[in-house]
Structure 1
Amino acid sequence: MKLIVKLLLTALAVLVLSHFLSGIIVSNYVTAIVVAVTIAVLNMLVRPILIVLTLPVTVLTLGLFLFVINAIIILLAGKLITGFYVSSFFSALLFSVLLSLFRSVLFTFLKEEK
């Protein structure tokens, strides 16, 4: 149940960010949910491979290269999903940073009590 809520919150963040960023276009609500699911799957499958392949650069930049990896994931999602358009690398970079911030704020409300 918590996974579904997180995916819906991510879809909400995708919709909100697409209204404020000119380089990101989401056609409708269903596409935003598909984008949230696709980003989650790409983060599980592709992101670890990219992190391992770029480990020296990531260490050299003190982890800042992870922002580039997140932007690559967003660009890849833009290529895979019709109805989700990313205009440039810098739009994807800004979108990924803002999406991470939105998700961290939204997910603080879902913390479990012990």
Structure 2
Amino acid sequence: MKWIVKWMLCAGALLLVAQVYSGVQLQNFSSALIAALVLGLFNTLLRPLLIVLTLPITLVSLGLFLFVIHALLFWAASGMLDGFAVSGFEAALIGSVGYSLLCVVIDSALEQLFPPQRLN
């Protein structure tokens, strides 16, 4: 249940980013749902691999290269989907930061609503 609520709220956050920032465009809520799913899969599957592969650059940049990785994944997701468009790398960077901040807020709110279950 928590996963479905988080998915829908993050799709809404993506729509909010598209409304606030003109560099990110979404056609409708179903496009936002698909984009949020693809972004979640990219962050779960590809992001750890990219972090390991770019570890020296990330250490030299004091972690700032992680923003570049996240922006590239955001941009790649927009390239794969029809109803989701990002106008360039700068738009991907700004959009990914906004989307990430909103999803962090959503995560913390959901932790209050759905506390972790203890195993006895």
TM-score when scaled to structure 1?
0.95
What's the CA shift for 1:57?
0.5
- Residues 1:108 and 2:78 aligned together: no
Moved more, 29-38 or 101-110: 101-110
Taking the aligned partners of 1:13 and 1:37, their CA distance within structure 2 comes to 13
1:62-110 deviation digits (Å, cap 9, x = unpaired): 1111000000000110111101000010100011111111111122211
- SS at 2:22's partner residue? coil
- SS at 1:25's partner residue? strand
Taking the aligned partners of 1:61 and 1:53, their CA distance within structure 2 comes to 14
Taking the aligned partners of 2:116 and 2:44, their CA distance within structure 1 comes to 26
**Percent identity for Structure 1 against Structure 2:** 43
Larger radius of gyration, structure 1 or 2?
2
Which blocks of at least 5 consecutive residues in structure 1 are unaligned? none
Taking the aligned partners of 1:100 and 1:28, their CA distance within structure 2 comes to 20
- SS at 2:36's partner residue? helix
Which blocks of at least 5 consecutive residues in structure 2 are unaligned? none
1:58 corresponds to which residue? Answer: 58
Taking the aligned partners of 1:16 and 1:50, their CA distance within structure 2 comes to 27
Q: 1:113 to 1:77 in 2, by over 3 A?
A: closer
Taking the aligned partners of 2:50 and 2:107, their CA distance within structure 1 comes to 25
The two structures, once aligned, show a CA RMSD in angstroms of: 1.1
1:49 corresponds to which residue? Answer: 49
Taking the aligned partners of 1:48 and 1:106, their CA distance within structure 2 comes to 22
Runs of 4+ with >4 A deviation = none
- Number of equivalences: 114
- SS at 2:85's partner residue? strand
Taking the aligned partners of 2:100 and 2:50, their CA distance within structure 1 comes to 18
Amino acid at match of 1:101: L
